[in-house]
Amino acid sequence: MEELKRLEKFQTVVSSITCHGLLSSSSSDSASSSRFLSNLVLFLVQPCGELDLDSKLGLLSEFLPKISGPFLEEISRSLELDDEATTPLNTISAECQNSCVKRSVMDNVDPYMSQKHQEVVAMVGLDAMKRANSTLEDFSRSYFMFHRLDINEPQSIFRYLPVLSFTESYIYQMDALNEKIVSESACGSQVIYSSHGWNAESRVLFETNPLKPLGDLLEREALLTNRVQQEFNSGEEYWALERKLCHALSNKNKICLEDVMRAIHLKSFDYRVLNLLLYKLRGEEVNELHMDFLSISEFLVEVADDLFDYEDDVLENNFNVLRMFVGIFGSSNAPTELAKRISEAEEKYEEIMKSLDPHLSSNYQRRCEEATKEGGKISGHSLGTWNIPAVISDEEAYRSAQR
C-alpha cells in the first residue's frame, strides 16, 4: 500500500535522527523539530538530475550560511501575496492549483502536517479494505437486525456498503499504524520516550487528529453527527491509552485499573461508528436501548477476543485485557479478577436483553451461537462459558522462547 509505505519511510527517518542523536532532547518543540529535519533529510535523498549526495551537501554548506531571517521573510511575504492575488487572469490557474494540492492523509513526506491552502483528503488502501472485510461481514450479520435489515437481501448490504467499507478501512489503517508504534516500543527499536510517555514518532503521527480527514469527508456527505464525532474522540483516546498501557507494561511500570477498563470499553468504537452511520444513512433516530445493549455485548466480545488472542498479543505487545490484569493483580489473581468483571457484565447483558423485542433477542442469541462456533475474532460470546488461558508471568522470557 503506497500511502503506508510513504509513512513508514517517514517513521524510519524520524527514528534514525533520534537514534543518531542529531536532534537535541532539549529542543523547545521536539516534535516540530523532528518533523522539519525528517522532511529535510527525505528531500536531500530524492534524485535531482546528476547531483549525488556529496554534491548536495556541498551546495548546502555553501548556501545555508548566506540565508538570513529577513531573506526568508521576504520570500514568505512574496508567496503570500501571490496566493492572495484574485485577478481574472489567474482564476483558472488558481483553480488548477487547488485541484493539484488535494492529497491523501499519507500522501506527502509529512502526512499529518497541516499546510495552508491544502485539503487533506481521506484515502484508503486495498490492503486495508481486504482486512476490514471481516469486520464488515460481522457487523452486517450482527447489527443489521437491529435496523430491521435482512442480511440475505443484497440491496440491504450494497446500499450502505460504500460508506461503511470506507469508514472501517480508514479506521483500520490508523489502528494498524498505532499498533506498529506500540510493537516497536516492546522490542526497543530506536524509540525514545519523553517524560510524558510519548515518543517522537507517535507525536508526529497523532498530534494533528488522525481521524479528522475521515470526519471532514463524512461532514461533506452530511453524515458527521455529534455522536459519531464523540466516537472518533473515543478512538483517539483508546489509541493513546494503548500506547500508554503497553509501554508501561513493557517497562514494568504501574498500571491503573481505571485506564484498563476505560480502554476495553473504548476499543469497539469502530463498531459504534458504523452503527451510528447506519442510523444516519437510514434517516432514523438512534435507538438508545439498542446502543446500551450492544455496548455491553461489545465489551464481552472484546474480552473474548483478547482471551483468544492472548499469546499473540503478548508477542506483539498489543493491548490485551488479560495482559493488563496480570500486570495489575499478578499471575495468580488476574484470572479471578477478570472473571468478576465478566460476571458483572453478563448480569447487565441478561437484564437489558429482557427489554428487547423477543424476536430480535432470539435472532441475536442465534447469531452469537453461530459466531462462537465459527471462532476467531467475531461478535459472538457464549454467556457463562469462558476459557481463560494460562497466564504468562514472564513476557520477556516468553518472547525470547518464541523467536
Q: How far apart are CA 132 and CA 172, in angstroms?
A: 7
pLDDT tens, residue by residue, 208-217 = 688 998 999 9
Higher local confidence (pLDDT), 79 or 284: 284
SS3 of the chain? CHHHHHHHHHHHHHHHHHHCCCCCCCCCCHHHHHHHHHHHHHHHCCCECCECHHHHHHHHHHHHHHCCHHHHHHHHHHHHHHHHCCCHHHHHHHHHHHHHCCEECCCCCCCCCCCCCCCEECCCCHHHHHHHHHHHHHHHHHHHHHHCCCCCCHHHHHCCHHHHHHHHHHHHHHHHHHHHHHHHHHHCCCCCECCCCCEHHHHHHHCCCCCHHHHHHHHHCCCCCHHHHHHHHHHHHHHHHHHHHHHHHHCCCCCCHHHHHHHHHHCCHHHHHHHHHHHHHHCCCCCHHHHHHHHHHHHHHHHHHHHHCHHHHHHHCCCCHHHHHHHHHCCCCHHHHHHHHHHHHHHHHHHHHCCCCHHHHHHHHHHHHHHHHHCCCCCCCCCCCCCCCCCCCCHHHHHHHHC
Q: Which span out of 17-21, 88-92, 225-229 was modeled with the highest average pLDDT?
A: 225-229
Distance CA 192, CA 195 (A): 10
- Per-residue pLDDT, 329: 96
Instruction: Say what percent of the chain tops pLDDT 70.
Output: 74
- Would 76 be classed as within a structural domain? no
pLDDT of residue 31: 63
Q: Establish if 92 belongs to a structural domain.
A: no
pLDDT of residue 100: 38
Q: Quick one: pLDDT at residue 202?
A: 43
In this predicted model, what pLDDT tens digit does every residue of 21-62 receive, in sequence order?
Answer: 676 555 555 567 777 777 888 888 888 888 888 888 888 888
349: its cell numbers: 447483558
Task: Please tell me the distance from the alpha carbon of residue 154 to that of residue 276, in angstroms, as a whole number.
Answer: 21
Domain membership of residue 119 (yes or no) is no
Examine the pLDDT at 284 and tell me if it is beyond 90: yes
Q: What is the pLDDT of residue 125?
A: 86
Provide CB contacts within 8 A for 329, sequence distance 6+: 337
Q: Is position 330 within any domain?
A: yes
- State the residue range of the domain holding 212: 126-402
What's the domain count of the chain?
Answer: 1
pLDDT of amino acid 203: 52
The CATH number covering residue 142 comes to: 1.10.600
Q: Is residue 348 part of a domain?
A: yes
**pLDDT over threshold 90, residue 299:** yes
pLDDT of residue 336: 95
Residue 108 has pLDDT above 80, yes or no: no
The mean of the pLDDT values for the chain is 80
Residue 6 included in any domain: no
pLDDT at 89 over 60: no
More confidently predicted of 337 and 25? 337
pLDDT at 18 over 90: no
Identify whether 239 is part of a domain: yes
* Lowest pLDDT segment from 60-74, 102-116, 353-367: 102-116
Average pLDDT over residues 264-272: 97
Which residue blocks in 188-225 are alpha helix, DSSP H? 200-206, 212-220
**Each residue's pLDDT tens digit, 234-264:** 999 999 999 999 999 988 899 999 999 999 9
**For residue 344, what pLDDT is reported?**
95
Question: Does 82 fall in a domain?
Answer: no
